[in-house]
Chain A
Amino acid sequence: MQALRRKDILGLEEMSAEEITLVLDTARSMREIIQRKIKKVPTLRGRTVLNLFYEPSTRTKASFELAQKYMSADSVSVAGTSSSLVKGETLKDTVRNVEVMGVECVIMRHPVSGAAHYLARSIEASVINAGDGMHEHPTQGLLDMFTIWEKKGRIEGLKVVIVGDVRHSRVARSNIWGLKKMGARVVISGPPTLMPPDRAELGVDYCPVVEEAVEGADVIMALRLQKERQESGLFPSLREYAELYGLNARRLAGANEDLLIMHPGPVNRGIEISSELADGPHSVILEQVTSGVAVRMALLYLLLGGVKEE
């Protein structure tokens, strides 16, 4: 397959294995550009991108902005708190206004699940979902898969364990959809209160004991534990969580020798993962960040490079 025949990237649930492979292949070529001294290609000269972040973000936003710069696209970034959203303007109105200014692609992070789908239906410009509520974060899922693929040479047949608050995690959701399509086996682990109610539909196994879940694992992904979940009573204390589910060297004894340890960031050191592991030889947490720029360059090229067939 040569081209991505879609306007938007909203979630991995609706993408095929073939499309995902095209993105990963293209990202591999983009990674070479990031390693150059002059990190810039003229490909998207004169194309305009809007970054619309209604939720705080450091690495996703920086990563998208760098990808746009490396591809020579022009971009404008608007943060939710400084925009007219606080003046009561609807999302659709905000973006329509920007669209008539000539924006061809909107990157959006929004606290409401489905916001990116709504936006994509409302405007002609391409939309890339940079995280919508508890639904999906497709570019994170793609960059995680790219990291695994680069390190392992394949995704098919691998055992991937996701540990933590899967229920509220759009990162986990995108990874599960993507990894399953690419032929990996996905196991989730963590307290039962933080497991997704639609586990069967997602097609993942649940193993409550981390030590058992990681038996023979090729990849372990720790999720960020959001402290506000404790306030809503889903787990008793951070200390107890760390004690029972926190990743540390002792707990991972049963995993494979060439295990990869991943985390989407930002890391709560000593809670979901020990510093020893996060900085250790199995950790690819920083590679994930580099992969992020390459994957986002690939998506920008695939959506904006060339003319879409009418």
Chain B
Amino acid sequence: MALIHKATVMDEKAMQQALRRIAHEIIEHNKGTENLVLVGVRRRGVPLARRLQAYLNEIENTSIPLGILDITLYRDDLTQRTDQPEVRTTDVPFSLENKDVVLVDDVLYTGRTIRSALDALMDLGRPATIQLAVLVDRGHRELPIRADFVGKNIPTSKTELVEVRVTEFDDAEQVDILENSVQ
């Protein structure tokens, strides 16, 4: 089995535009950024949250706190996987108490990562609200979870893979669709 590149659905410019639009939507929805904090889900939610933070800071001329969430210890599939996921550090150096938290991730798929992230966030404090921003919503939810801010809706089949690439970890800034091919 090999992964075959099917299409590039967002390039660097499209990603920038989508994130900038989300930044505006977040401001509109929250009537400002006063009570706002961002939390990126490891791994690729973190650089996306950083980009959002930069746009928000620029638009509102402010400085919004950004935290990093590792959800490994909250996964619901730990007893099913043979490849043990590596635990990394959660770093939320501010209080979430009564804050409006915007959780940022790259792709929304089954909703299970977000379920884990919600549990992880609740253990850190009691926010006023939690909102979800994702770059891509690819459908196929297995849990009653939806995003408040979506960069792009991409209908996919379950055999496909949506890959968000960011310059921090990858050699490009774009979103690709890959497909498993049985040879």
Contacts and interface: CB of A to CB of B under 8 A. Distances in A.
Contacts of A71: 73
Chain A at the B interface: SS class: loop
Contacts of A309: 82
A3 B120 CA distance: 23
Given A42-B73, A306-B78, A32 B91 contact: yes
Contacts of B58: none
Interface in B73-102: 73-74, 78-91
Contact of A306 (B84, B119, B123, B124): B84
A42 B87 contact: no
Nearest to A28: B89
28 contacts: A2-B83, A2-B84, A25-B86, A26-B86, A28-B89, A29-B70, A29-B87, A29-B88, A30-B87, A32-B89, A32-B90, A33-B90, A36-B123, A36-B124, A37-B125, A40-B123, A41-B123, A42-B73, A43-B78, A301-B73, A305-B78, A305-B84, A306-B78, A306-B83, A306-B84, A307-B79, A307-B80, A307-B81
Nearest to A305: B78
A13 B136 CA distance: 48
- B70, B73, B120: residue with the most chain A Cβ atoms closer than 10 Å: B73
Contacts of B89: 28-29, 32
Nearest to B75: A43
Interface residues of A, number: 26
Interface in A52-86: 71
A305 B74 CA distance: 11
Given A32-B89, A306-B78, A3 B83 contact: yes
A104 B61 CA distance: 54
A261 B29 CA distance: 54
A30 B86 CA distance: 12
Contacts of A43: 73-74, 78
Interface residues of B, number: 22
B82 A306 contact: yes
Nearest to B89: A29
B83 A41 contact: no
Contacts of A36: 123-124
Nearest to B119: A42
B78 A29 contact: no
A302 interface: yes
Contacts of B83: 2-3, 306
Contact of B87 (A37, A38, A40, A301): A301
The 9 tightest CB contacts between A and B, nearest first, are: A306-B84, A3-B84, A41-B73, A43-B73, A29-B89, A29-B87, A38-B123, A309-B82, A2-B86
Contacts of B125: 37
Interface in B22-36: none
Contacts of A2: 83-86
Contacts of A307: 79-82
- B70, B74, B89: residue with the most chain A Cβ atoms closer than 10 Å: B89
A166 to B, nearest CB: 34
A26 B87 CA distance: 6
Nearest to A40: B123
A30 B125 CA distance: 18
A25 B89 CA distance: 9
A211 to B, nearest CB: 41
Given A3-B84, A43-B73, A43-B74, A306 B90 contact: no
Contacts of A40: 123
A2 B78 CA distance: 14
Contacts of B123: 36, 38, 40-41
Interface string A292-310: 0000001001100111110
B90 A29 contact: yes
Interface string A237-277: 00000000000000000000000000000000000000000
Contacts of B90: 29, 32-33
Interface in A146-174: none
Interface in A1-35: 2-4, 25-26, 28-30, 32-33
B142 to A, nearest CB: 19
Contacts of B78: 43, 305-306
